[in-house]
A and B are shown apart, each in its own frame.
Chain A
């Protein structure tokens, strides 16, 4: 590597334990109640800041286990530690990806006080959510999750949701839209149930899944546009729109293929990079994907680890294939390593089902809408619409 790496996202596993047992979960160790040691966190953040690899700021996501199974006091101490170690000119933000079942008044106050970004995993209406998001005894978790969501709203805590789409919910964009609007959920992200690690998704394997996904997004977008002000953010649509309509000079890179841009640490200090899902998985070619332990190794040494070199060579070969063969390369930058590995059997490959859905069909949708406007030539009407919606509506982005 020539230029020093830039860590942009640090995924920290405070505990591998999760209080629920979703049927599609890829985390292998989610019954383990271990907790990351304060020394391990100290070693991590000391090294990250000393390396200069996070000089432009750092986003920390506490994830890969349910973060709220640990007490608030754990995070109070952890955040204080980070703040003490952080150079004054390096901004750090913290976020939780949570199942929402443990949110209470105290958590809401803490989240608001600490300005923690919150993502709640909820799969839509109860009949969709409870199919997969269940307790260890198989009971649905919808009631507890929605209670957490309502509490966040009552406290005025901003949050987004991530909904995993199944074949049932993919066929029900209206029901999904009505659910979000009914619950006052304004920021929505969709994942499609994927095959990763030990989980093999039937939804993902179904033929024509990318067409279903296209139709879902298309109808969902139409519904959102017909009710301005109800949804502020639909990640898949907003990301695709931004990628299609970016100036040609605008920079773009795919952090998932850059070493250390996304860095993950498990509860015992093991470090992995590229797709966060790799940490905890195993492969014949790369072992457990671990390139070192923060309690024993320096980040500089990890950058020289032979497993990293092998992964990087294969990932770059895969990116080169994407560049050569894929019309959508400029919106994606070479795909998701974890999906290439688990769908195609190798990092050194190109297209995946994940690509087809999240990048290609979402891009197609935006292109189709632009094309529809261009071919119709009814720009006067469109302009009137734009003028209407732009009045008094501030852009949510810098």
Chain B
């Protein structure tokens, strides 16, 4: 039996609420560290997603819903403290429509050192 979308979102909410405040690098490091000891030797069928009942699109929807919920809470809290600004949305990550041509790295969205 598939999990209800709401409970799936609730489950992810717990995970993303720990992850997201760390920002892009923090999330990347935390997820990267959540690897099996020898990731390169692990058979694909042993990955958690291989035993999860929900499909990829359902999980993506649940995760994004959790991120939105979390973000809304954050914006509401910021509003209450008189700190609402555009930058408060999306944990400052920014989700642009970036270019995905594979010889291109999209400097404008990724590179801020100039």
The verdict on A218 contacting B16 (CB below 8 Å), with A369-B32, A395-B25, A397-B24 known, is: no
Smallest CB–CB gap between B33 and chain A, Å?
4
Select one of B23, B56, B94, B103 contacting A276, CB under 8 A.
B103
Is A386 a contact partner of B30 (Cβ separation < 8 A)?
A: yes
Among A115, A219, A252, A275, find the residue whose CB has the most chain B CB atoms closer than 10 A: A219
Smallest CB–CB gap between B60 and chain A, Å?
6
Is B110 a contact partner of A397 (Cβ separation < 8 A)?
A: yes
A336: chain B residues at CB < 8 Å are 100, 102
The verdict on A248 contacting B101 (CB below 8 Å), with A218-B35, A241-B27, A373-B15 known, is: no
B32: chain A residues at CB < 8 Å are 221-222, 224-226, 237, 369
Is B101 a contact partner of A371 (Cβ separation < 8 A)?
A: no
Q: How far is the CA of A372 from the CA of B93 in the complex (A)?
A: 23
Q: How far is the CA of A261 from the CA of B100 in the complex (A)?
A: 11
- List residues of B whose CB falls within 8 A of some A CB: 11-12, 14-16, 18-35, 38-42, 44, 47-49, 52, 55-57, 59-61, 63-65, 67-68, 71, 90, 92-114
Select one of A57, A233, A329, A368 contacting B57, CB under 8 A.
A329
**Closest A residue to B91 using CB positions:** A395
Select one of A239, A390, A395 contacting B92, CB under 8 A.
A395
Is B25 a contact partner of A396 (Cβ separation < 8 A)?
A: yes
A234: chain B residues at CB < 8 Å are 28
Select one of A225, A239, A371, A376 contacting B35, CB under 8 A.
A225
Please provide the chain A residues from 263 to 318 with a CB less than 8 Å away from any CB of chain B in the complex.
Answer: 275-276
Q: How far is the CA of A219 from the CA of B15 in the complex (A)?
A: 22
Could you say which of A41-49, A68-76, A342-350, A359-367 contacts chain B?
Answer: A359-367
B98: chain A residues at CB < 8 Å are 239
Is A386 a contact partner of B18 (Cβ separation < 8 A)?
A: yes
Q: How far is the CA of A332 from the CA of B90 in the complex (A)?
A: 20
Is A276 a contact partner of B101 (Cβ separation < 8 A)?
A: yes
**Closest A residue to B26 using CB positions:** A390
The reply to whether the CB of A189 lies closer than 8 angstroms to some CB of chain B is: yes
Is B95 a contact partner of A57 (Cβ separation < 8 A)?
A: no
Known: A59-B108, A93-B108, A332-B100. 19 other contacts (CB 8 A): A59-B106, A160-B105, A218-B42, A225-B31, A226-B33, A245-B67, A247-B64, A248-B64, A329-B57, A330-B57, A336-B102, A358-B102, A367-B59, A368-B49, A371-B48, A374-B14, A375-B48, A383-B18, A397-B92
Select one of A189, A375, A395 contacting B105, CB under 8 A.
A189
A225: chain B residues at CB < 8 Å are 28-33, 35
Please provide the chain A residues from 47 to 74 with a CB less than 8 Å away from any CB of chain B in the complex.
Answer: 57, 59, 61, 63
**Closest A residue to B55 using CB positions:** A327
The reply to whether the CB of A242 lies closer than 8 angstroms to some CB of chain B is: yes
Please provide the chain A residues from 224 to 247 with a CB less than 8 Å away from any CB of chain B in the complex.
Answer: 224-226, 228, 232-235, 237-239, 241-242, 244-247
Please provide the chain A residues from 92 to 116 with a CB less than 8 Å away from any CB of chain B in the complex.
Answer: 93, 95, 97, 115
Q: 19 A-B pairs, CB-CB below 8 angstroms? A: A59-B106, A115-B114, A218-B39, A241-B31, A245-B64, A247-B95, A251-B97, A262-B99, A276-B103, A330-B61, A370-B15, A371-B48, A373-B15, A379-B18, A386-B30, A390-B26, A396-B25, A397-B93, A397-B112
Could you say which of A14-22, A123-131, A198-206, A208-216 contacts chain B?
Answer: A208-216
**Closest B residue to A225 using CB positions:** B32
Is A373 a contact partner of B34 (Cβ separation < 8 A)?
A: yes
Is A255 a contact partner of B68 (Cβ separation < 8 A)?
A: no
Select one of A247, A332, A371, A385 contacting B52, CB under 8 A.
A371
A247: chain B residues at CB < 8 Å are 64, 67-68, 71, 90, 95
Is A63 a contact partner of B103 (Cβ separation < 8 A)?
A: yes
Among A173, A215, A226, A395, find the residue whose CB has the most chain B CB atoms closer than 10 A: A395
B109: chain A residues at CB < 8 Å are 397-398
